[in-house]
Structure formats: structure tokens, C-alpha cells
Amino acid sequence: MKQIIIAIDGPAGSGKTSSAKIVAEKLNYIYIDTGAMYRAVTLAWLREKVPLTAEKLKEVIDTINITLEPSANGQITKLNDEDVSEAIRSEEVNRFVSQISADKYVREAMVNLQRKLAEGKGCVMDGRDIGTTVFPNAALKIYLTASIGARAKRRLNEYAEKGITGLGFNEIATQILERDRFDSNREVSPLRKANDAIEIDTSNLTLQEQSEKIYKLALDIINN
């Protein structure tokens, strides 16, 4: 089968990660959740308890090792050989990840790693800047969107499944909007739809429906 890069970008809670996983599995491609990498950097910085400055972030980046391993349900994220797949989803990481991701040095390091992991392979990669910066020549670019109501509801359900309580719908919606605003307005590689990306609004789609749409678009390219 032809090996292509499928870039899936979009704001928080638009369904990127879940659909990327399904599409990768159907195509037998590797799947890379780039958000997990920025989350791992954020966790490493939180653990160091150092101020949020470019200098300290450089020190953190230069001393850590982030690896991604395929697993039955997508991807295991490792920070210096420790499985941090759960720890990077904490509320605290959510709170700081956008600020950490705006740092130029952090982005350079992560983008290099992302290119190295996927170059020449069949890969579904999801993030904020995959179609614009990481792989501007990706064969298929998808930009997922959804209403803020739908996105907050999904995050609320996700938290409930994990037993995380205490955050209500309104708080979650506010956090998501803040992160979107920060991601869209940063200087380096802001969240933006690539000109040649196909936009899919997932507000009223099930996970199966949205994944099927992307899968069909991918097959069209792979088989031609």
C-alpha cells in the first residue's frame, strides 16, 4: 500500500486524536499524537519546579528524552523511559501546555523529532501545525472543527470516564477557549487551517462517522 502522511489539525476537543488513531489502525499506518509530546515537555517542566522562562525550558528540553511507542490503544508516551501516558492528561498539564508549546526552542525540538519519526512512512499525525509547518507537503490534510458546546461536552465525558470530577461544563468550555486563543495567537506556528486542508465540522458526527470520512479521503489518494 502507498505510504502517505495524513496531517490532522484542529482545536482542542475537535476529535483529532481519536479519529487519527482509528484511521491509522485501518490503514496499518503509524500514529503520532504530537500533543502528547508537548504535554510530556510540560510535565517535565512541572516536575522541575523552575520558572517558566525560555532559558529554563531550554535546560529541560536538553536533558529529557521523549519517546513514543505504539500500543493496543494508540500510543504510549515515555519521558526518560517512564510511561507518562496517564500523567500527561492531568488538569495541571492542561493548564500550562499552551504556554510551554509557544516556546520557539521547544517547538523546534519537537518538530524535528516528529519529522524524524514519520519521514518516509505511512503516518497519521495529529496536532496544531502538522499541515502548516511539520509536513506542509502532506498528501492529505484535514482540519477538524466543532462547536465549543460539543467540544466541552466531549472533554467533560472524558474526565468523567477517568473519575476526574470538580470541573463543570462552563469551566471546561472556558479552559478550552483560552487554550484555543493562546494556540491561535502565538508567534511560532499558530493553530491555523492550511490553505489546502479539508475542513470537517464534527459537532454532529459520531467518532465512527468522522473517522470514516477521513479514511475514505485517504483511500482515494492511496489508490490513485
85, 77 in Cβ contact below 8 A? Answer: yes
Residue type, position 38, single letter: Y
Q: Which is nearer to ligand CDP, 97 or 194 (CB)?
A: 97
Question: Which three cell numbers mark 194?
Answer: 492550511
Task: Evaluate whether 66 touches 40 at the Cβ level (below 8 Å).
Answer: yes
- Nearer to ligand CDP by C-beta: 21 or 213? 21
Smallest separation (angstroms) from ligand CDP to the CB of 26 = 21
> Which runs of E-coded beta strand occur in the chain?
5-9, 30-33, 66-71, 74-79, 82-83, 123-127, 140-145, 198-201
Run of H or E including 50: none
Integer Cα distance of 75 and 32 in angstroms: 7
Give which of 154, 126, 142, 131 is closest to 200, Cα–Cα.
142
- Judged by beta carbon, residue 178 or residue 220, the one nearer ligand CDP is 178
State the minimum distance, in angstroms, from the CB of residue 220 to ligand CDP: 25
**Which CB sits closer to ligand CDP, 203 or 222?**
203
Query: In terms of CB distance, is 140 or 183 closer to ligand CDP?
Result: 183
Minimum distance from CB of 16 to ligand CDP (Å)? Answer: 6
Q: How far is the CB of 129 from ligand CDP (least distance, A)?
A: 5
Report the interface residues with ligand CDP, using CB under 6 A. 12-13, 17, 34-35, 38-39, 97-98, 101, 127-129, 179, 183
Choice between 58 and 192, CB closer to ligand CDP: 192
Q: Within 13 Å of residue 10, how many CA atoms lie on the same side as its CB?
A: 29
Shortest spacing between CB 33 and ligand CDP, in angstroms: 7
Q: How far is residue 223's CA from residue 25's CA, in Å, rounded to a whole number?
A: 17
For the bound state, the minimum distance from the C-beta of residue 195 to ligand CDP, rounded and expressed in Å, comes to 18
| DSSP state, residue 136 | T
d(CA 146, CA 166): 24
